[in-house]
């Protein structure tokens, strides 16, 4: 048992009157110890669930993310992507249409790095399940990801490669039946220190928390919004608040609702529908608005465009896509 770590459990768990939030420095040390395996399983569980009960403060999350950065493999920096997109929620109502938006972004010449995890037994459809069908085969090492980025302008790596200790924390949902702060940290990670970072969140007010955290990391610009199911996908069935942070300052843009008709839940969740839509063989009410609005949000971040300018470019990119090729294609 770590006596040093016990003090952090005490700080956050000493009742409604006796407890307090961790400072940024305390949060950094506590998360570093946890990720380094310097605590017992009991201490780890107590710490994570106490945080889950009252939710983490922005200062705590900043310290946690800084601790994560210390353990990220240095080789990840050699990937040098332009855009980092965390894919951690998994879809259960609609297909992950945002992946087509990411493919179109890659076709503009930007190197797109995707990373994510999957939770066994969740019943959700994760990016890693879909990308091979769209042309981006699974890779399991940093060197393979670099080669894939060079060929496709896109690559996906599992969090188990990016930061294994954090991946272990995410998998603890099977034990606790609750998610922990690990899911939040993974979205905020930007492990390759890409110039642009995209984050989708689910719960109300989490986008505000991410905004404050993003303002502490001035080495890159960030986009955060409440995405469909928590993934980085704009659902234009309702107005979308986009929080765009540049050099520690955040501006908010609102994308208006694209349609007044709400799409029914996709009961089949057939990945083949994404390819058929890409090829123009079928129409899809939800997919059309999701691909367009999500790409608009990405372009507003990466190209510093207004929503109107980004919308025009998004339409052009969609109209000029190669319908006969897979969304992720070689020789860009």
pLDDT band per the 50, 70, 90 thresholds, residue 54? confident
Segment (H or E) for 286: helix 285-302
How far apart CA 189 and CA 199 sit, in angstroms, is: 10
Q: What is the pLDDT of residues 164-191, one digit of tens each?
A: 999 999 998 888 877 889 999 999 999 9
The predicted model scores a pTM of 0.95
Alpha helices in 177-261 (DSSP H): 182-188, 206-214
- According to the model, what pLDDT value does residue 151 have? 95
- pLDDT tens by residue, 200-237: 999 878 899 999 999 999 999 999 999 999 999 999 88
Q: What is the mean pLDDT of residues 126-146?
A: 97
Grade residue 307 by pLDDT with cuts at 50, 70 and 90.
very high
pLDDT at 332: 47
Percent of all residues in the chain with a pLDDT value above 70, rounded to a whole number:
97
Task: Say which residues have a Cβ less than 8 Å from residue 83's Cβ, sequence separation at least 6.
Answer: 105, 110, 111, 112, 113, 194, 195, 196, 197, 198, 298, 301, 302
DSSP secondary structure letter of residue 75: G
Q: Render the burial of 28-54: b for 16+ CB within 10 Å, e for the rest.
A: bbbbbbbbeeebeeebbebbbebbeee
pLDDT of residue 233: 97
């Amino acid at each position: 048992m770590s006596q040093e770590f016990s003090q952090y459990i005490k700080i956050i768990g000493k009742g409604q009157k006796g407890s307090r939030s961790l400072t940024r420095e305390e949060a950094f040390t506590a998360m570093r110890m946890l990720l380094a395996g310097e605590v017992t399983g009991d201490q780890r569980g107590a710490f994570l669930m106490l945080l889950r009960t009252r939710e983490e403060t922005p200062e705590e999350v900043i310290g946690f993310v800084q601790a994560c950065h210390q353990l990220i493999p240095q080789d990840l920096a050699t990937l040098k992507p332009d855009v980092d997109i965390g894919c951690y929620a998994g879809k259960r109502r609609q297909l992950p249409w945002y992946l087509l938006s990411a493919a179109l972004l890659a076709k503009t010449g930007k190197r797109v790095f995707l990373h994510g995890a999957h939770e066994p037994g969740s019943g959700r459809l994760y990016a890693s399940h879909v990308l091979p069908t769209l042309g981006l085969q699974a890779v399991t090492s940093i060197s393979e990801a670099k080669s894939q980025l060079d060929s496709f302008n896109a690559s996906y790596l599992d969090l188990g490669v990016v930061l294994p200790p954090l991946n272990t924390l995410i998998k603890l949902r099977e034990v606790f039946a609750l998610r922990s702060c690990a899911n939040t940290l993974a979205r905020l990670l930007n492990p390759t220190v890409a110039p642009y970072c995209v984050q989708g969140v689910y719960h109300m007010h989490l986008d505000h928390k991410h905004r404050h955290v993003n303002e502490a990391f001035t080495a890159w610009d960030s986009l955060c919004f409440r995405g469909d199911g928590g993934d980085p996908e704009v659902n234009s069935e309702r107005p979308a608040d986009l929080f765009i942070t540049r050099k520690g300052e955040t501006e908010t843009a609102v994308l208006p609702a694209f349609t007044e008709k709400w799409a029914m839940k996709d009961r089949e969740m057939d990945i083949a529908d994404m390819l058929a839509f890409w090829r123009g063989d079928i129409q899809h009410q939800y997919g059309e608005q999701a691909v367009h609005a999500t790409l608009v949000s990405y372009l507003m971040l990466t190209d510093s465009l207004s929503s109107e300018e980004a919308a025009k470019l998004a339409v052009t990119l969609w109209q000029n896509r190669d319908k006969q090729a897979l969304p992720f294609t070689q020789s860009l």
